[in-house]
Amino acid sequence: MALVALRNVTKTYPAPEKGAPPVVAIDGVSLEIEPGDVYGIIGYSGAGKSTLVRLVNALEPATSGSIEVDGREITTMPERELRGIRLGIGMIFQQFNLFNSKTVWANIAYPLQVAGASKSEISARVAELLEFVGLAGKAKNYPDQLSGGQKQRVGIARALATSPRLLLADEATSALDPETTQEVLELLKRVNREFGVTIIVITHEMDVIQSIATKVAVMDGGRVIEHGDVFDVFSNPQNPSSQRFVGTVVKGTPSPAELAVLRERHEGRIVTISFRDGDASQAAVFVALATAGIEFELVYGGINDIQGRAFGHLTLAIRGADAAVDAVLAEISSRVDVTEVP
Protein backbone atom coordinates (compact mmCIF):
# COMPACT_ATOMS: atom_id res chain seq x y z
CA MET A 1 0.00 0.00 0.00
CA ALA A 2 1.21 3.47 -0.80
CA LEU A 3 2.57 5.43 2.16
CA VAL A 4 1.29 8.68 0.66
CA ALA A 5 -1.52 8.74 -1.88
CA LEU A 6 -2.76 11.97 -3.43
CA ARG A 7 -5.88 11.77 -5.54
CA ASN A 8 -6.92 14.68 -7.69
CA VAL A 9 -5.69 17.20 -5.14
CA THR A 10 -6.14 20.92 -5.72
CA LYS A 11 -5.07 23.92 -3.68
CA THR A 12 -6.47 27.34 -4.43
CA TYR A 13 -5.55 30.56 -2.69
CA PRO A 14 -7.99 33.46 -2.56
CA ALA A 15 -7.45 36.20 -5.13
CA PRO A 16 -4.61 38.53 -4.10
CA GLU A 17 -6.78 41.55 -4.94
CA LYS A 18 -10.43 42.19 -5.66
CA GLY A 19 -11.54 41.21 -9.14
CA ALA A 20 -8.51 39.02 -9.80
CA PRO A 21 -9.04 35.28 -10.25
CA PRO A 22 -8.09 32.98 -7.35
CA VAL A 23 -4.58 31.56 -7.51
CA VAL A 24 -4.45 27.86 -8.36
CA ALA A 25 -1.27 26.51 -6.75
CA ILE A 26 -1.99 22.79 -7.18
CA ASP A 27 -4.18 21.73 -10.06
CA GLY A 28 -5.46 18.16 -9.86
CA VAL A 29 -2.39 16.23 -8.74
CA SER A 30 -2.47 12.47 -8.23
CA LEU A 31 0.63 10.68 -6.95
CA GLU A 32 1.43 7.52 -5.05
CA ILE A 33 4.54 7.25 -2.96
CA GLU A 34 5.54 3.75 -1.86
CA PRO A 35 7.32 2.93 1.39
CA GLY A 36 11.09 3.11 0.89
CA ASP A 37 10.93 5.45 -2.09
CA VAL A 38 13.12 8.49 -2.41
CA TYR A 39 10.60 10.45 -4.41
CA GLY A 40 11.89 13.56 -6.15
CA ILE A 41 9.55 16.38 -7.09
CA ILE A 42 11.20 18.84 -9.44
CA GLY A 43 9.96 22.06 -10.96
CA TYR A 44 10.80 25.72 -11.42
CA SER A 45 9.92 28.13 -8.62
CA GLY A 46 6.19 28.75 -8.60
CA ALA A 47 5.48 25.29 -10.01
CA GLY A 48 3.67 24.39 -6.79
CA LYS A 49 6.10 21.83 -5.41
CA SER A 50 6.57 23.48 -2.00
CA THR A 51 2.82 23.84 -1.63
CA LEU A 52 2.38 20.19 -2.59
CA VAL A 53 4.73 18.98 0.12
CA ARG A 54 2.93 21.16 2.71
CA LEU A 55 -0.32 19.43 1.81
CA VAL A 56 1.21 16.09 2.79
CA ASN A 57 1.71 17.11 6.43
CA ALA A 58 -1.33 19.40 6.32
CA LEU A 59 0.58 22.59 7.11
CA GLU A 60 -1.70 23.83 4.33
CA PRO A 61 -5.18 22.39 3.96
CA ALA A 62 -6.06 21.04 0.52
CA THR A 63 -8.94 22.74 -1.28
CA SER A 64 -10.26 19.50 -2.74
CA GLY A 65 -9.23 15.93 -3.43
CA SER A 66 -8.01 13.23 -1.11
CA ILE A 67 -4.67 12.79 0.67
CA GLU A 68 -3.95 9.56 2.48
CA VAL A 69 -0.90 9.21 4.69
CA ASP A 70 -0.25 5.69 5.91
CA GLY A 71 -3.80 4.78 4.95
CA ARG A 72 -5.43 7.63 6.89
CA GLU A 73 -7.34 10.37 5.12
CA ILE A 74 -5.94 13.67 6.38
CA THR A 75 -7.99 16.22 4.45
CA THR A 76 -10.97 15.84 6.77
CA MET A 77 -9.00 15.36 9.97
CA PRO A 78 -9.39 17.94 12.77
CA GLU A 79 -6.30 20.02 13.62
CA ARG A 80 -5.72 18.28 16.97
CA GLU A 81 -5.51 14.88 15.30
CA LEU A 82 -3.29 16.26 12.54
CA ARG A 83 -0.67 17.12 15.16
CA GLY A 84 -0.33 13.41 15.87
CA ILE A 85 0.10 12.71 12.14
CA ARG A 86 2.79 15.43 11.91
CA LEU A 87 4.77 13.75 14.69
CA GLY A 88 5.18 10.82 12.29
CA ILE A 89 6.41 13.02 9.42
CA GLY A 90 9.80 14.74 9.58
CA MET A 91 10.48 17.90 7.61
CA ILE A 92 13.65 19.76 6.65
CA PHE A 93 13.84 23.16 5.02
CA GLN A 94 15.91 25.26 2.64
CA GLN A 95 16.69 27.83 5.38
CA PHE A 96 17.07 25.03 7.98
CA ASN A 97 14.55 26.78 10.28
CA LEU A 98 16.43 25.87 13.44
CA PHE A 99 15.48 27.54 16.72
CA ASN A 100 18.27 30.09 17.16
CA SER A 101 17.57 30.54 20.86
CA LYS A 102 18.10 26.84 21.56
CA THR A 103 21.27 24.76 21.52
CA VAL A 104 21.80 21.99 18.99
CA TRP A 105 20.82 19.54 21.71
CA ALA A 106 17.60 21.42 22.52
CA ASN A 107 16.70 21.74 18.86
CA ILE A 108 16.84 17.98 18.40
CA ALA A 109 15.07 17.36 21.72
CA TYR A 110 12.16 19.67 20.80
CA PRO A 111 10.02 17.24 18.76
CA LEU A 112 10.56 14.59 21.44
CA GLN A 113 9.23 17.00 24.07
CA VAL A 114 6.23 17.66 21.85
CA ALA A 115 5.73 13.92 21.59
CA GLY A 116 5.80 13.68 25.39
CA ALA A 117 8.93 11.52 25.67
CA SER A 118 10.55 11.11 29.09
CA LYS A 119 13.78 12.93 30.00
CA SER A 120 15.88 9.77 29.81
CA GLU A 121 14.36 8.76 26.46
CA ILE A 122 15.13 12.24 25.14
CA SER A 123 18.76 12.17 26.30
CA ALA A 124 19.38 8.78 24.77
CA ARG A 125 17.70 9.59 21.48
CA VAL A 126 19.38 13.00 21.05
CA ALA A 127 22.82 11.48 21.74
CA GLU A 128 22.15 8.73 19.20
CA LEU A 129 21.04 11.25 16.55
CA LEU A 130 24.00 13.58 17.15
CA GLU A 131 26.24 10.59 16.59
CA PHE A 132 24.36 9.62 13.42
CA VAL A 133 24.71 13.06 11.83
CA GLY A 134 28.33 13.41 13.00
CA LEU A 135 27.81 16.36 15.35
CA ALA A 136 28.40 14.70 18.71
CA GLY A 137 30.81 17.48 19.70
CA LYS A 138 28.37 20.29 18.90
CA ALA A 139 25.55 19.50 21.35
CA LYS A 140 26.04 22.68 23.39
CA ASN A 141 26.60 25.00 20.41
CA TYR A 142 23.99 27.40 19.11
CA PRO A 143 22.87 27.34 15.45
CA ASP A 144 24.64 30.63 14.63
CA GLN A 145 27.94 28.95 15.51
CA LEU A 146 27.46 26.29 12.82
CA SER A 147 28.13 26.20 9.07
CA GLY A 148 25.26 25.74 6.61
CA GLY A 149 25.97 22.05 6.18
CA GLN A 150 26.10 21.51 9.94
CA LYS A 151 22.82 23.39 10.37
CA GLN A 152 21.13 21.13 7.86
CA ARG A 153 22.50 18.08 9.62
CA VAL A 154 20.94 19.37 12.85
CA GLY A 155 17.74 19.89 10.85
CA ILE A 156 17.89 16.27 9.70
CA ALA A 157 18.57 14.98 13.22
CA ARG A 158 15.65 17.06 14.52
CA ALA A 159 13.35 15.77 11.77
CA LEU A 160 14.28 12.17 12.57
CA ALA A 161 13.94 12.52 16.35
CA THR A 162 10.51 10.95 16.59
CA SER A 163 11.52 8.13 14.19
CA PRO A 164 9.11 9.15 11.43
CA ARG A 165 8.40 6.86 8.48
CA LEU A 166 8.31 9.81 6.10
CA LEU A 167 10.71 12.71 5.67
CA LEU A 168 9.83 15.81 3.64
CA ALA A 169 12.85 17.68 2.29
CA ASP A 170 11.86 21.10 0.96
CA GLU A 171 14.79 22.40 -1.14
CA ALA A 172 17.01 21.05 1.62
CA THR A 173 20.25 21.63 -0.29
CA SER A 174 19.40 24.77 -2.26
CA ALA A 175 21.18 27.09 0.19
CA LEU A 176 24.33 24.96 0.30
CA ASP A 177 27.48 24.87 -1.82
CA PRO A 178 28.02 21.87 -4.14
CA GLU A 179 30.34 20.00 -1.79
CA THR A 180 28.09 20.42 1.25
CA THR A 181 25.13 19.50 -0.93
CA GLN A 182 26.75 16.13 -1.66
CA GLU A 183 27.40 15.59 2.08
CA VAL A 184 23.79 16.28 2.94
CA LEU A 185 22.53 14.10 0.08
CA GLU A 186 24.76 11.24 1.27
CA LEU A 187 23.28 11.64 4.74
CA LEU A 188 19.75 11.51 3.31
CA LYS A 189 20.68 8.35 1.41
CA ARG A 190 21.82 6.78 4.68
CA VAL A 191 18.56 7.84 6.33
CA ASN A 192 16.68 6.04 3.58
CA ARG A 193 18.91 2.96 3.57
CA GLU A 194 19.57 2.46 7.28
CA PHE A 195 16.22 3.50 8.75
CA GLY A 196 14.01 2.73 5.76
CA VAL A 197 12.59 6.26 5.89
CA THR A 198 10.61 7.24 2.81
CA ILE A 199 11.78 10.64 1.58
CA ILE A 200 10.00 13.21 -0.57
CA VAL A 201 12.63 15.53 -2.03
CA ILE A 202 11.52 18.89 -3.40
CA THR A 203 14.11 20.56 -5.59
CA HIS A 204 14.75 22.63 -8.67
CA GLU A 205 18.12 20.98 -9.22
CA MET A 206 18.16 17.91 -11.43
CA ASP A 207 21.47 16.67 -10.04
CA VAL A 208 19.84 16.31 -6.63
CA ILE A 209 17.28 14.01 -8.23
CA GLN A 210 20.03 12.21 -10.12
CA SER A 211 22.05 11.49 -7.02
CA ILE A 212 19.37 10.32 -4.60
CA ALA A 213 15.88 9.86 -6.06
CA THR A 214 14.44 6.54 -7.18
CA LYS A 215 11.28 8.08 -8.62
CA VAL A 216 10.60 11.54 -9.91
CA ALA A 217 7.64 13.75 -10.69
CA VAL A 218 8.11 16.85 -12.83
CA MET A 219 5.80 19.73 -11.91
CA ASP A 220 4.82 22.73 -13.97
CA GLY A 221 2.01 25.19 -13.36
CA GLY A 222 0.63 23.24 -10.40
CA ARG A 223 0.38 19.98 -12.35
CA VAL A 224 2.48 16.86 -12.46
CA ILE A 225 3.40 16.69 -16.12
CA GLU A 226 5.51 13.56 -16.02
CA HIS A 227 6.40 10.98 -13.41
CA GLY A 228 8.04 7.60 -13.16
CA ASP A 229 11.31 5.86 -12.37
CA VAL A 230 14.23 8.27 -12.42
CA PHE A 231 16.00 6.13 -15.01
CA ASP A 232 13.05 6.22 -17.39
CA VAL A 233 12.47 9.95 -17.07
CA PHE A 234 16.18 10.73 -17.44
CA SER A 235 16.82 8.43 -20.35
CA ASN A 236 13.66 9.26 -22.22
CA PRO A 237 11.89 12.44 -21.04
CA GLN A 238 8.59 12.94 -22.85
CA ASN A 239 7.60 16.47 -21.98
CA PRO A 240 9.51 19.60 -23.17
CA SER A 241 9.78 20.88 -19.59
CA SER A 242 11.16 17.51 -18.41
CA GLN A 243 13.57 17.53 -21.32
CA ARG A 244 14.87 20.91 -20.22
CA PHE A 245 15.45 19.66 -16.67
CA VAL A 246 17.12 16.48 -17.88
CA GLY A 247 19.24 18.58 -20.23
CA THR A 248 20.71 20.45 -17.25
CA VAL A 249 22.54 17.33 -16.07
CA VAL A 250 22.61 14.99 -19.05
CA LYS A 251 24.65 15.91 -22.09
CA GLY A 252 22.25 14.52 -24.64
CA THR A 253 21.76 15.61 -28.18
CA PRO A 254 23.28 18.82 -29.54
CA SER A 255 21.09 21.92 -29.71
CA PRO A 256 20.61 23.56 -33.13
CA ALA A 257 23.31 26.12 -32.32
CA GLU A 258 25.76 23.43 -31.23
CA LEU A 259 24.89 21.42 -34.32
CA ALA A 260 25.81 24.32 -36.58
CA VAL A 261 29.25 24.48 -34.95
CA LEU A 262 29.69 20.72 -35.29
CA ARG A 263 28.81 20.90 -39.01
CA GLU A 264 31.44 23.53 -39.57
CA ARG A 265 34.11 21.42 -37.97
CA HIS A 266 33.20 17.97 -39.26
CA GLU A 267 32.49 16.61 -42.70
CA GLY A 268 30.15 13.76 -43.40
CA ARG A 269 26.86 12.67 -41.93
CA ILE A 270 25.94 13.34 -38.35
CA VAL A 271 24.19 10.56 -36.47
CA THR A 272 23.05 10.24 -32.85
CA ILE A 273 23.10 6.79 -31.27
CA SER A 274 21.07 6.37 -28.07
CA PHE A 275 22.04 3.66 -25.63
CA ARG A 276 19.84 2.45 -22.84
CA ASP A 277 20.70 -0.04 -20.18
CA GLY A 278 19.67 -3.50 -21.40
CA ASP A 279 20.08 -2.65 -25.09
CA ALA A 280 22.98 -3.98 -27.08
CA SER A 281 26.40 -3.28 -25.66
CA GLN A 282 28.39 -0.35 -26.94
CA ALA A 283 31.14 -2.77 -27.92
CA ALA A 284 28.98 -4.52 -30.52
CA VAL A 285 27.99 -1.18 -32.04
CA PHE A 286 31.55 0.07 -32.24
CA VAL A 287 32.81 -3.21 -33.71
CA ALA A 288 30.18 -2.91 -36.44
CA LEU A 289 31.22 0.69 -37.14
CA ALA A 290 34.95 -0.12 -37.12
CA THR A 291 34.67 -3.02 -39.56
CA ALA A 292 32.38 -1.27 -42.04
CA GLY A 293 35.13 0.44 -43.98
CA ILE A 294 34.08 3.95 -42.97
CA GLU A 295 35.61 6.67 -40.80
CA PHE A 296 33.79 7.93 -37.74
CA GLU A 297 34.46 10.39 -35.00
CA LEU A 298 32.72 10.91 -31.68
CA VAL A 299 31.72 14.60 -31.68
CA TYR A 300 29.16 15.08 -28.89
CA GLY A 301 27.41 13.32 -26.02
CA GLY A 302 28.07 11.25 -22.96
CA ILE A 303 27.12 8.18 -20.95
CA ASN A 304 25.26 8.73 -17.68
CA ASP A 305 24.87 6.53 -14.71
CA ILE A 306 21.58 6.57 -12.81
CA GLN A 307 21.52 4.18 -9.87
CA GLY A 308 23.93 1.80 -11.51
CA ARG A 309 22.13 1.78 -14.86
CA ALA A 310 23.74 3.48 -17.82
CA PHE A 311 22.25 5.41 -20.68
CA GLY A 312 23.45 8.05 -23.03
CA HIS A 313 23.47 9.65 -26.41
CA LEU A 314 26.57 9.68 -28.60
CA THR A 315 26.68 11.84 -31.70
CA LEU A 316 29.05 10.68 -34.43
CA ALA A 317 30.32 12.26 -37.60
CA ILE A 318 30.62 9.51 -40.20
CA ARG A 319 32.53 9.78 -43.47
CA GLY A 320 32.55 7.19 -46.21
CA ALA A 321 30.68 5.89 -49.23
CA ASP A 322 26.92 6.48 -48.85
CA ALA A 323 26.12 2.84 -49.45
CA ALA A 324 28.58 1.65 -46.82
CA VAL A 325 27.28 4.18 -44.28
CA ASP A 326 23.65 3.22 -44.96
CA ALA A 327 24.53 -0.44 -44.55
CA VAL A 328 26.24 -0.01 -41.19
CA LEU A 329 23.52 2.32 -39.87
CA ALA A 330 20.92 -0.28 -40.83
CA GLU A 331 22.94 -2.92 -39.02
CA ILE A 332 23.36 -1.01 -35.76
CA SER A 333 19.82 0.36 -35.75
CA SER A 334 18.65 -3.20 -35.19
CA ARG A 335 20.52 -3.02 -31.85
CA VAL A 336 20.12 0.61 -30.66
CA ASP A 337 18.19 3.76 -31.50
CA VAL A 338 19.87 5.58 -34.35
CA THR A 339 18.78 9.06 -35.41
CA GLU A 340 20.35 10.73 -38.39
CA VAL A 341 20.60 14.46 -37.77
CA PRO A 342 19.57 16.19 -40.99
Partner 1 sequence: MDRLFELGSEFWVAAAETLYMASLTLLIGGLGGLLLGTVLYTTRPGSLLSNRAVFNIVNVVINFFRPIPFIIFIAAVQPLSRLVIGTGIGNDALIFALSIAASFAIARIVEQNLLTVSPGAIEAARAMGAGPLRILRTVVIPEALGPLILGYTFVLVAIVDMTAMAGFIGGGGLGNFALVYGYRQFEPAITWAAVIIIVVFVQGVQFLGNWLARKVMRR
Residue 129 DSSP class = H
Q: Does residue 118 touch partner 1 according to CB under 8 A? A: no
Residues whose CB is less than 8 angstroms from the CB of residue 218 and which lie 6 or more positions away in sequence, other chains included: 42, 43, 224, 225, 226, 227, 233, 237, 239, 241, 242, 245
* Residue choice 142, 148, 232, 295 for contact with partner 1 (CB under 8 A): 142
Q: State which residue, 87 or 225, has the beta carbon closest to partner 1.
A: 87
Q: State which residue, 151 or 227, has the beta carbon closest to partner 1.
A: 151
Q: State which residue, 59 or 327, has the beta carbon closest to partner 1.
A: 59
| Environment class of 31 (CB within 10 Å of its CB; exposed 0-12, middle 13-18, buried 19+) | buried
Residues in contact with partner 1, counted by CB under 8 A, come to a total of 29
Write each residue from 75 to 114 as x if it is in contact with partner 1 (CB under 8 A), else as -, in one continuous string: -----x--xxxxx-x-x-x-xxxxxxxx-------xx-xx
Beta-bridge partner residues of 24: 12
Q: How far is the CB of 290 from partner 1 (least distance, A)?
A: 58
Q: State which residue, 58 or 325, has the beta carbon closest to partner 1.
A: 58
Put the strands of the sheet holding 23-33 in their side by side order: 23-33, 4-13, 64-69, 72-73
298-322 burial: b if 16+ Cβ within 10 Å, else e: ebbbeebebeeebbbbbbbbbebee
Q: How far is the CB of 106 from partner 1 (least distance, A)?
A: 10
Write each residue from 156 to 185 as x if it is in contact with partner 1 (CB under 8 A), else as -, in one continuous string: --x---x-----x-----------------
Q: State which residue, 111 or 254, has the beta carbon closest to partner 1.
A: 111
Q: Does residue 115 touch partner 1 according to CB under 8 A? A: yes
Residues 101 and 285: their CA atoms lie apart, in Å, by 63
User: Contact, 221 vs 187, CB < 8 A?
Assistant: no
Binding interface with partner 1 (CB under 8 A): 57, 59, 80, 83-87, 89, 91, 93, 95-102, 110-111, 113-115, 142, 144, 158, 162, 168
